[in-house]
Amino acid sequence: MPTPIGIDLGTTHSLVAWVTPTGGAVAIQNCDSEVLVPSVVHYREDGGVVVGTGAMAQALDHPEATIASAKRLMGRGADDPETKRLGSYRYASDEGPVVKFDVGGGKVVTPIEVSAEILRELKNRAIDDLGDVGAAVITVPAYFDDAQRQATKDAAKLAGLDVLRLLNEPTAAALAYGLASKENGVFAVYDLGGGTFDITILVLDDGVFQVKSTGGDSQLGGDDLDRALAGVFLEDLAYADGSEVPSNIARALLSGARRVKHALSDVEVVDAEIELPDGRKVERRITRADFDALVAPIIKRTGVACRRALRDAGLSKDDIDGVILVGGATRTPIVRSYVAEVFGKEALASIDPDQVVALGAAQQADLLGGESRRDDVLLLDVLPLSLGLETMGGVAEKILPRNTAIPVAAAQVFTTYADDQTGFDLHVVQGERELVEDCRSLARFTLKGIPPMAAGLARLEVRFEVNADGMLSVSAQEQRTGIHQEVEVKPSYGLTDDQIEAMLLDAYEHGGDDVAKRMLREQQVDAARVLSSIEGALGADAALLEEGEEARIREAMKRLSDAAAESTDHRVIASRIEELDELSTPFAGRRMDRSILDALRGRAIGAIEDETKDAKGVETHLAEEAEKYAQERQDS
């Protein structure tokens, strides 16, 4: 069985981890015993691609053909302010809303393709180490919006990776810590990575990791500290305000700044010496106090998000039992002392802050895609940013507020504002601000074909659904006529399916991946999984079977196992899986209902909330039930 893997796709570096047969998560090293792959991709003149340390070595000589920190541009438009801030790349100025880098030689790439190269490198590393590699859990900053998540999924698709789940980075870190310590309590995860900042407050209760709130800034990270310091070095060079600094100079200053920052974590004073590609040299003494004063305003921005996350969770800093540090930037002393100040206690960093996210991701991959050795662990996550619709006057109406537990759905009814209006424009936005123009635009669509009627008569129900990856789909229905429309929210800044298809085909031509073979193997694995799951259910809950049901299910199971053993056509296996699935679903439904009752009331049988919706008389009964339940809990 292929091994599921966990990937931390970071701004400055990335890594991949897996869970060993004994249940511990380990990061995969390359032949040089390096775990971290710098998130840098170099496009060679001959068309070759270099990823990681080798690419970094090319950064100074070929700044435009070497892309670093592409994650900061995932899901961003070419007109985004962040795009301009990154500076040192040559952007292709052609059509389309997605940012593109011109990497020379007529080649133009998107941040999604750059990320796909990194993912492919990690996947190959895992294959070298493990042989057969299965699907992946890929981590994203909790504060990533829908467009950024979609871009990450697209990158995985390009890299030929099946995604089990997009997992929020702080949640992954909490999983790694929680599984190690097994201590219940309320934890804050402070994650300052290369380019993003996340804060998450969560409760750990006997294996359930329940995120209460999350917040952050997807444009704030350790890179900003480097940039601030590089700005100081720049003062020594004669560049007029506003004049453009050549990209190779900027690169040299940035990497010099990063070295100085790292050194200042251990010593109080550093005499910086940075040699520039044009032969000049910057020399300057930097003390830790200088550095702290310089970056304090940046670090303070994280405090705002921390306080808001606490408020959203309905908690104060005294309620926090422990603080977990994640991300390389949390090695910086001023960051540590600031975190201690905000939460009133020293933070934990017993697991390597560079690796902890990937280790947690590997654990989640094992839970979702592995042999599932443990059944006692569950992650409950939330929506990081409010989702809403544009209403009159450009105001964003929130349909699902931030920090709502996912997966979730919500509906809102709107009406027409003009007589005989036959279409209704819907503009889906994400963010906390009141005005649509300050929020992120995710999608626009029009519900058409509403029959002419007076204003205010039509009833348009718009339904938002967010899946466990935190990704949205929207449907709209006119309730009088039943006209229905569904959109998968493909963000305005994303790639179209056609573009992905083309890139994929391109990749297959070059990679020689045998698609048919891969699909056959996937279906075989799937068949085995379905068979063993149903076999288990039949054994455990024979009492819930109806007359003749078991015989019918067993017949379909036989047909499937025959196909899985003999057929070379993945479609045959797929259709038999579907057949068995359809036949066994009513049985599965009965089992699920039974487990709901068990969960609510121990082993007794009683009413559940669904039944209270239409039956008023039940309330009295329920009050008694609740009392009984409370009594039972007390007794036990």
Partner 1 sequence: MGLPARYGIDLKELEVRYRELSRVLHPDKHAHKPAGERRISLGKAVEVNEAYRILKDDLARATALLALDGHVVAEGEGAPSDPMFLMEVMELREELSEARSAKDLDRVGALGEKVTAMRRATTAQMATAFDGPEPGGAGREHAELKALVGRLRYYRRFMDEVDVIEEEALG
The catalytic residues are: 8, 71, 169, 191
The neighbouring-strand residues paired with 282 are: 274
Say how far apart CA 477 and CA 412 lie, in whole Å.
11
The per-residue b/e assignment along 601-624, b for 16 or more CB within 10 angstroms, e otherwise, is beeeebbeeeeeeeeeeeeeebee
Per CB under 8 A, 542 contacts partner 1 = no
Closer to partner 1 by CB, 82 or 581: give it.
581
The neighbouring-strand residues paired with 399 are: none
Peptide bond into 407 cis (omega under 30): yes
The DSSP bridge pattern shows strands 133-140 and 3-8 to be: parallel
**Residue 300 burial class via C-beta count within 10 angstroms: exposed 0-12, middle 13-18, buried 19 and up:** exposed
Closer to partner 1 by CB, 266 or 619: give it.
619
Q: According to CB under 8 A, which one of 29, 623, 631, 632 is a site residue for partner 1?
A: 623
Per CB under 8 A, 154 contacts partner 1 = no
Per CB under 8 A, 28 contacts partner 1 = no
Closer to partner 1 by CB, 107 or 463: give it.
463
28 CB neighbour count, 10 Å cutoff: 20
Closer to partner 1 by CB, 34 or 162: give it.
162
Closer to partner 1 by CB, 108 or 545: give it.
545
Choose one: 38-46, 240-248, 338-346, 572-580; the region binding partner 1 (CB under 8 A).
Answer: 572-580
Say how far apart CA 560 and CA 386 lie, in whole Å.
44
Say how far apart CA 427 and CA 446 lie, in whole Å.
9
Q: According to CB under 8 A, which one of 229, 465, 476, 573 is a site residue for partner 1?
A: 465
Say how far apart CA 367 and CA 373 lie, in whole Å.
8
Structural tokens at position 184: 């219940």
Per CB under 8 A, 136 contacts partner 1 = no
Interface of this chain with partner 1, residues 162 to 201, rule: CB under 8 A: 164-165
Angle at Cα 616 formed by Cα 612 and Cα 618, nearest 5°?
60
Closer to partner 1 by CB, 34 or 526: give it.
526
Q: Are 118 and 51 a contacting pair, CB within 8 Å?
A: yes
Choose one: 65-73, 182-190, 295-303, 543-551; the region binding partner 1 (CB under 8 A).
Answer: 295-303
**Residue 245 burial class via C-beta count within 10 angstroms: exposed 0-12, middle 13-18, buried 19 and up:** middle
Coil, strand or helix at 109: strand
Closer to partner 1 by CB, 12 or 430: give it.
430
Structural tokens at position 530: 């379905």
Choose one: 146-154, 177-185, 316-324, 620-628; the region binding partner 1 (CB under 8 A).
Answer: 620-628
Residues that bind partner 1 (rule: CB under 8 A) add up to a total of: 69
**Shortest spacing between CB 32 and partner 1, in angstroms:** 35
Rg, the chain, Cα only: 27
Q: How far is CA 184 from CA 178, 180, 320, 348, 404, in A?
A: 8, 12, 11, 15, 22
**Shortest spacing between CB 294 and partner 1, in angstroms:** 19
Closer to partner 1 by CB, 392 or 543: give it.
392
Per CB under 8 A, 505 contacts partner 1 = no
The DSSP bridge pattern shows strands 163-168 and 133-140 to be: parallel
Choose one: 5-13, 99-107, 248-256, 297-305; the region binding partner 1 (CB under 8 A).
Answer: 297-305
Backbone angles phi, psi at 270, to 5 degrees: -130, 130
Interaction mask 387-416, partner 1, x per CB under 8 A: -----------------xxxxxxx------
Per CB under 8 A, 433 contacts partner 1 = yes
Q: How far is CA 345 from CA 197, 266, 341, 445, in A?
A: 20, 22, 7, 49
Per CB under 8 A, 516 contacts partner 1 = no
CA torsion 516→522→528→533, rounded to 10°? -140
**Shortest spacing between CB 438 and partner 1, in angstroms:** 10
CA torsion 81→82→86→89, rounded to 10°? -70
Interaction mask 203-242, partner 1, x per CB under 8 A: x-x--x-x--------------------------------
Choose one: 20-28, 185-193, 194-202, 612-620; the region binding partner 1 (CB under 8 A).
Answer: 612-620
**Shortest spacing between CB 157 and partner 1, in angstroms:** 20
Q: Which of 411, 441, 409, 447 is nearest to 428 (CA)?
A: 441
Per CB under 8 A, 20 contacts partner 1 = no
**Shortest spacing between CB 16 and partner 1, in angstroms:** 20
Q: According to CB under 8 A, which one of 275, 419, 578, 632 is a site residue for partner 1?
A: 578
Per CB under 8 A, 632 contacts partner 1 = no
For the four alpha carbons of 369, 374, 375 and 377, in that order, the dihedral sign comes to negative
Interaction mask 521-540, partner 1, x per CB under 8 A: --------xx--xx------
Coil, strand or helix at 243: coil
**Shortest spacing between CB 304 and partner 1, in angstroms:** 4
Q: Are 191 and 326 a contacting pair, CB within 8 Å?
A: yes
**Shortest spacing between CB 404 and partner 1, in angstroms:** 5
Closer to partner 1 by CB, 43 or 143: give it.
143
Per CB under 8 A, 592 contacts partner 1 = yes
**Shortest spacing between CB 203 and partner 1, in angstroms:** 8
Look-up of token digits 């963010």: 431
Sheet containing 208-217: give its strands across: 322-326, 185-192, 197-205, 208-217, 378-380
Closer to partner 1 by CB, 53 or 184: give it.
184
Per CB under 8 A, 636 contacts partner 1 = no
Binding site residues, partner 1, CB under 8 A: 164-165, 203, 205, 208, 210, 300-301, 303-304, 308, 367-369, 372, 375, 378-380, 404-410, 432-434, 465, 467-468, 529-530, 533-534, 577-578, 580-582, 584-585, 588-589, 592, 595-596, 598-601, 606-610, 612-613, 616-617, 619-620, 622-623, 625-626, 629-630
